[in-house]
Amino acid sequence: MKLENKFPGKDISQEDIKTKFPLVAKKNKNHKSQFKISGVEFGSKLVPIFAGPNMIESEKLIMNCAKNLKKAGAHFLRGGAFKPLTFPYRSEKYTETREEGIKWLKKAKHEFGIPVITEIMEEKYLDLICDTADILQIGSRNMQNFPLLTECAKSGKPIMLKRHYGASLRDWLGAAEYLMVEGNHKIILCERGVSVPHTHRSTSRFLLDLQVIPAAQEITHLPIVSDPSHATFWRNWVSPMTLASIAAGADGIMLEVHPDPENSAVDPLQPIDFKTFTNLIKKMNDVAKVLGKHVS
Ligand code: PEP
Ligand code: MN
């Protein structure tokens, strides 16, 4: 037995690549998945942008976001109607909009012609969410909810699998294999920050693992999206970490954008406003250009 191939924990061995996640692993050095979702190219020179509020708080909010974010250059509108909120208590403002939220998302999608991504937490809502979503988002907290992964994959919908904040690259790729083994090939991975002993201020729960972008790209052909909003939890750091993500080779960017960030029902410290988003798109294009890529 070759011990170097059996090292447990976070390292990925050659044996893992062959036997644990053969579908997720690259077949050769230049292997990169390329596919289109609702007309948007992944794994090519385009760096798709997912933007929108944390939660679909109201019809007015999601319509406003769809209109302005599409105009500014977002490729997908994001927003959750079913939310994995950390604590069970709800104020009126802080309440998931659930079925109604999905209905508003559908309206925004059709009225402004922008594809949408939204989170699924329970299999029982799969049909409802699939009817509206162009991409199913599996949140970090459900990364290893294997029965949910299997059912979502079987729906045939493209899926974004967010990395759990405590998961190794090996665990994350293992979860992605659960999706691919069902024959679903439109899988996107999303880095959204990890828990580490030292972050930079009390509001920082997570640290954006920029290094995992090239590390994952060494092993997998799947596109890697970066989400600096959830990672930084702090809007002033979102723009620099977005640009750093593009420089690190991210295949897409997810951003929380809200017309009135301070009054966002969920996580009001992290969304950026429309103006910041519009300026950031220009800067993202400048950085992407260095790598022969583009955002718009
Ligand atoms: C989200 O995208 O709104 C979200 C809840 O993200 P995460 O699962 O990464 O915390
Ligand atoms: Mn969120």
CB of 230 sitting under 6 A from ligand 1: yes
Ligand 1 neighbourhood includes 163 CB (under 6 angstroms): no
Reported as a pLDDT band with limits 50, 70 and 90, residue 7 is low
* Interval 253-267: pLDDT, tens: 999 999 999 999 999
Contact 222, 252 (CB under 8 A): no
Alpha helices (H) along the chain: 14-19, 59-72, 98-112, 126-132, 146-154, 169-180, 212-219, 228-232, 238-247, 274-290
Strand (E) or helix (H) holding 159? strand 159-162
| pLDDT of amino acid 6 | 56
User: Residue 229 pLDDT more than 70?
Assistant: yes
| Mutate which of 162, 188, 206, 212 for ligand 1 pocket (most atoms within 8 A of beta carbon) | 162
280 vs 239: CA distance, rounded Å: 6
Q: Is the CB of 140 under 6 A from ligand 1?
A: yes
pLDDT tens digits for 166-199? 999 999 999 999 999 999 999 999 999 999 987 7
pLDDT, position 94? 81
Residue in 50, 86, 137 to alter for ligand 1 test, most ligand atoms within 8 A of Cβ: 137
Is residue 256 within 8 A of residue 230, CB to CB? The reply is yes
61: tokens are 């909010």
The string of pLDDT tens digits covering residues 37-70 is 999 999 999 999 999 999 999 999 999 999 999 9
Q: Is the CB of 221 inside a 6 Å radius of any atom of ligand 1?
A: no
| Angstrom distance (rounded) from CA 7 to CA 262 | 47
| Number of helices and strands in the chain (H, E) | 10, 10
Report how far ligand 1's centroid is from the alpha carbon of 230 (Å).
7
Q: Separation of 6 CA from ligand 1 center, angstroms?
A: 33
pLDDT at residue 106, as a whole number: 98
Q: In angstroms, rounded to a whole number, what is the distance separating the alpha carbons of residues 229 and 225?
A: 12
The two structure tokens encoding residue 144: 């290893």
Nearest-atom number in ligand 1 for the CA of 165 is 9
Q: What is the mean pLDDT of residues 95-120?
A: 98
Please tell me the distance from the alpha carbon of residue 24 to that of residue 203, in angstroms, as a whole number. Answer: 34
Residue 221 has which token pair?
């052909």
Residue 137 is given by DSSP the state E
Using the structure block, give the residue that is written with the tokens 């969920």.
Answer: 266
Mean pLDDT of the chain: 95
Per-residue pLDDT band for 140 (boundaries 50, 70, 90) equals very high
Q: Using most ligand atoms within 8 A of CB, pick from 140, 142, 208 the residue to mutate for ligand 1.
A: 140
How buried is 62 (Cβ within 10 angstroms: 0-12 exposed, 13-18 middle, 19+ buried)? buried
Query: In this model, does residue 2 exceed pLDDT 80?
Result: no
Separation between Cα atoms, residue 78 and residue 80, nearest integer Å: 7
CA angle (217, 255, 102) in 5-degree steps: 110
CA of 46 to the centre of ligand 1 (A): 23
Contacting residues for 40 by C-beta, under 8 A, at least 6 apart: 46, 48, 75, 76, 115
Ligand 1 contact, 54 CB (< 6 A): yes
**Predicted local distance difference test score (pLDDT) of residue 91:** 80
What is the chain's alpha carbon radius of gyration, rounded to the nearest angstrom?
Answer: 18
Ligand 1 contact via 228 beta carbon (within 6 Å): no
Q: What is the mean pLDDT of residues 9-32?
A: 90
pLDDT reported for residue 93: 79
- Mean pLDDT throughout 96-113? 98
Lowest-pLDDT range of 92-96, 224-228, 234-238, 270-274: 92-96
- Alpha-carbon gap, residue 251 to 44, rounded angstroms: 8
Alpha-carbon gap, residue 174 to 144, rounded angstroms:
9
Find where tokens 């750093």 sit. 244
Q: Is the CB of 271 under 6 A from ligand 1?
A: no
Which pLDDT value is given to residue 10? 53
Please tell me if the CB atom of residue 139 comes closer than 6 angstroms to any atom of ligand 1: yes
If pLDDT is split at 50, 70 and 90, which confidence band does 8 have? low
Token readout for 151 is 């059912």
Q: Is the pLDDT of residue 200 over 90?
A: no
C-beta 145 within 6 A of ligand 1:
no
